[in-house]
Amino acid sequence: MKRLILFALLGSVVLTGCQKYLAVNDNPNTATVTQSNYVFANALNSAARTMVGGMHITGGTWDGMYGHSTSFTGGGQEKTYVFTNGDFNFWNGTYDNLNDLQYVINNATADGFAYMVGPAMITQVMMYQKLVDLYGNVPYSEALQGTKFTTPKYDDAAAIYTALTTRLTQAVNLINASSFPSNDNSDLFFNGSASSWKKFANTLKLRLIVRRSNVSGYNAAADIATLSSDGFMDAPVLCQPLGGYLKTAGKLNWYYANWGYDQNDGQTGDFRKMGGAIVDWLKTSSDLFRLSRIAALKGKPENDVAMTDPSVNLPANYQGVPLGGSNGAISYLSSNTSGMGRMVVIKGQATRPVTVMTDAESYFLQAEARQRGWLAGSAQAAYEEGVRRDFQFVCNVGTTYSTATQAQAITAANAYLINGIANADWSASADKLKAIWVQKWIALTNVDGSEAWAEYRRTNSPSNPNGNIPSPYTAQSVATSQSQPVRIYYPIGESNNNGANVPLSGSSYVFNTRIFWDVN
C-alpha cells in the first residue's frame, strides 16, 4: 500500500498547501518547528473535500439522489452498475487524510497543541467509518504506521466498528483532560469548541450504533451506555477555513467547484441532475418547500427565478432523472431536467462553508434510537425536530443566502408534519422506523450521498414494494442483467501492492458480499 508508506513524508508534503487556507504570513515549509496546527487545519479541510467528492456523488446516485442528463455522455459505470476496480477509487484520498490526522495525533502534544489530539481522533473515526461502509474490511490496526507495515493486514469490518466506538470514548476523555483556547483558527469545524467536539463524538458514536442495529447479537445497550453526558449535535457541522473559501481556482468551496461552477462562474456540473426518486417523493408528499430548494427549476440555473415567483411552487416545473434514464428519452435532456438547487449551489456564491453533518441527521439518529428503546425520550419529538431542522437547513436560515426566515421554515415544516401522508406525518405513518429513514434520506440529499447509500443498504428504504415510495432502482433504469452493488471494489493499486492481504477478489463480490451491517 504505497499510500500508507507515504506517512513518513507527510510532515513536509501536507504543509505545502496549508497556508492558502490559514491566511498566515509565515511559510510552513521553512518553519523551525513542526506545525501540527497547520496539518490539522489542512486535514479537516481535506476531510470535508473528500466527503463532498466522488463518494458523495456515487453514493447519492445509487440511492436516488442524482441522475445524469442525457444531453451528455458518460457516467455509464454509475448508471449500469458495470464497473471495475479501476473505477470509484475513494481509498487513496481517504487514507491520505487519515495519515494527516495521525500526524497530528503523534505530534500535537510535543508541538504545544495537545488539545487537538482528541478532535483529530474523532475526525479519523468519521473517515474510517466511511471506508468500512464502502469497502468492508480495511487496514486498521497496522495502518498509518509508515514503513513499519508496508503491506498492512485487513481488519474485520465489525471489529473496526467496535474499535471506532472505543476510540470515540478515548477522544472525549482526552478532550476533558485538555485545555482548549478561547478560539482556534486551525479548527475549521468548531473554532476550538470542546463542547462541540464532544457532541460531534456522541453523534458519530450514535451513527455507528444505529448502523449495526440489525446485526444479530449486537449489544447496542452496552455502547449506548458509553455515550458521554454532553448531548448530540444541535447545529450543522460546517467546514470553513480561516478567511473563508475564496472565489479563486483551487480555493473555492469544494461542492461549488465540483458540482456547480468554476471561479469564473462557468458551469461545471450541468450533466449531474437531481434523481427521479427524490424529486418524485418530494412531489408526492406535497413538499414544495424543500423541493424548490433541493432542486432547481427544470432547465434553469438554480437562482434564475426568485423564490417569490409563482413558478417555483408548481410541481410540474421540476423533473428528476431516474437512474440510467435512456439516452433516447428527450425528457431527460438538460433543458428539461432539474439540477442541484440553491440549498447548496448558487451561481457566484463560491465561498460558502462545506457541510460535514447536519443537525437534522443528529435528530433522526436520536429518533431511531428512541424508537428502538435505546435512548429515553419521545421518538416522535426527535423525528419532528429533525424535520424542522432540515426545513431550516435547506433554506440556510440565518445566513447571507437565506431563502426564508426561521419562522417561515418552521411554519412550513409544522404544516408538513400534519399533512396526513405516511412517512411525513408521524401519526399517519404505520411504520415509524421507515418514516425516520425516509426523512433522513431527504435530509442527506445534497449533503452526504455516501451516508445515504449506506442507509439505503441497511434499511432498504426508500423502497418501492407497492409503488408507495419512489425507488432509484425501477424499470426506468438502463436495461442490464447486473444486480445492485452492495459495496465497491478494492482499488487496483491494492491488488497490485498488497494483494496477499486483500480479502476479496473476482468480478462478483461487490454484488453479493454485503458489509457486515447489511443484513436485510
DSSP line for 415-468 = HHTTS--TTTSGGG-S-HHHHHHHHHHHHHTTT-HHHHHHHHHHH--S--SSSS
Residues 51 and 9 in one domain: yes
What percentage of the chain has pLDDT greater than the value 70?
89
Neighbours of 225 (CB within 10 A): 9
Expressed as residue numbers, the domain containing 260 is: 254-336
Sorting pLDDT into bands at 50, 70 and 90, what band is 322? Answer: confident
Q: Measuring CA to CA, which residue among 102, 109, 222, 214 is closest to residue 162?
A: 222
319 in any annotated domain = yes
Can you give the pLDDT at residue 79? Answer: 82
Q: How many structural domains comprise the chain? A: 2
* Cα four-point dihedral sign 85, 90, 91, 96: positive
pLDDT tens digits along 327-336: 566 778 889 9
pLDDT recorded at residue 368: 98
pLDDT band at residue 318 using 50, 70 and 90 as cut-offs: very high
The answer as to whether 112 is a domain residue is yes
Q: What pLDDT, on the 0 to 100 scale, is given for residue 463? A: 66
Contacts of 164 (CB under 8 A, 6+ apart): 125, 128, 129, 208
Q: What's residue 23's pLDDT?
A: 35
Distance linking the first and last C-alpha atoms of the chain: 33
**What is the per-residue pLDDT for 398?**
87
CB atoms within 10 A of CB 439: 26
Collapsed DSSP state (helix, strand, coil) of residue 68: strand
Mean pLDDT of 287-293: 97
DSSP, collapsed to helix, strand or coil, labels residue 138 as strand
Clarify whether residues 144 and 209 are in a common domain: yes
Per-residue burial over 490-518, b = 16 or more CB atoms within 10 Å of its CB, e = otherwise: bbebbeebbeebbbeeeeebbeeeebbbb
* Model pLDDT for residues 58-81, shown as the tens digit of each residue: 999 999 999 888 888 878 888 888
Nearest to 281 by CA among 92, 110, 455, 65: 65
Domain finish residue from 316, 336, 356: 336
Confidence of residue 1 (pLDDT cuts 50, 70, 90): very low
Residues 146 and 259 reside in one and the same domain: no
Looking at the structure, do residues 316 and 191 belong to the same domain, yes or no?
Answer: no
How many Å is the maximal CA-CA distance in the chain? 66
For the ranges 217-226, 307-316, 477-486, which has the lowest average pLDDT? 477-486
Q: What value does the mean pLDDT take over residues 36-50?
A: 95
CA gap 438, 86 in Å, rounded: 32
Task: Answer whether residue 507 shows pLDDT above 70.
Answer: yes
Buried b (16+ CB within 10 A) or exposed e, 128-147: bbbbbbbbbbbbbebbbbbe
Query: Has residue 359 been placed in a domain?
Result: no
**Are residues 121 and 214 both part of a single domain?**
yes
d(CA 334, CA 330) in angstroms, rounded, equals 9
Q: Give domain status of residue 182, yes or no.
A: yes
Based on the fold, state whether residues 107 and 158 are members of the same structural domain: yes
Query: 83-120: per-residue pLDDT in tens?
Result: 899 999 999 999 999 999 999 999 999 999 999 999 99
Regarding whether 288 and 194 lie in a shared domain, the answer is: no
What local confidence, expressed as pLDDT, does residue 12 receive? 33
- Which strand (E) or helix (H) includes residue 382? helix 379-394
Residue 407 lies in a domain: no
Give a yes or no: residue 364 inside a domain. Answer: no
Q: Are residues 173 and 307 in the same domain?
A: no
**47: DSSP letter:** H
Given 336, 357, 391, which residue is the final one in a domain? 336
Query: Is 314 found in the same domain as 202?
Result: no
Closest of 53, 50, 47, 12 to residue 119, by C-alpha = 47
Q: What is the CA radius of gyration of the chain?
A: 22
What's the CATH code of the domain at 493? Answer: 1.25.40.390
Picking from 288, 315, 336, the residue at the C-terminal end of a domain is 336
Confidence check: pLDDT of 21 > 60: no
3-state DSSP assignment of residue 357: strand
- What's the pLDDT score for residue 461? 86
> Is residue 219 helix, strand or coil?
coil
Question: Are residues 334 and 299 in contact, defined by beta-carbon separation less than 8 angstroms?
Answer: yes
Only one residue has cell 456564491, namely: 349
For 437-474, the pLDDT digits (tens) are 999 999 999 999 999 999 999 998 886 422 333 334 34
Q: Is residue 149 part of a domain?
A: yes
Q: What's the average model confidence in pLDDT over 251-257?
A: 89
233 and 281 belong to one structural domain: no
180-185, long-range: CB < 8 A, 24+ apart? 180/115, 181/115, 184/37, 185/22, 185/41, 185/242
Backbone conformation region of residue 269, classed left if phi is above 0, alpha if psi is from -120 to 50, else beta: alpha
**CB neighbours of residue 29 within 10 Å:** 13
Q: What pLDDT, on a 0 to 100 scale, did the predictor assign at position 75?
A: 81
* Domain identity same for 182 and 49: yes
Mean pLDDT of the chain: 88
Please say if the pLDDT value at position 27 is more than 50.
no
Domain annotation covers residue 400: no
- Residue 209 shares a structural domain with residue 262: no
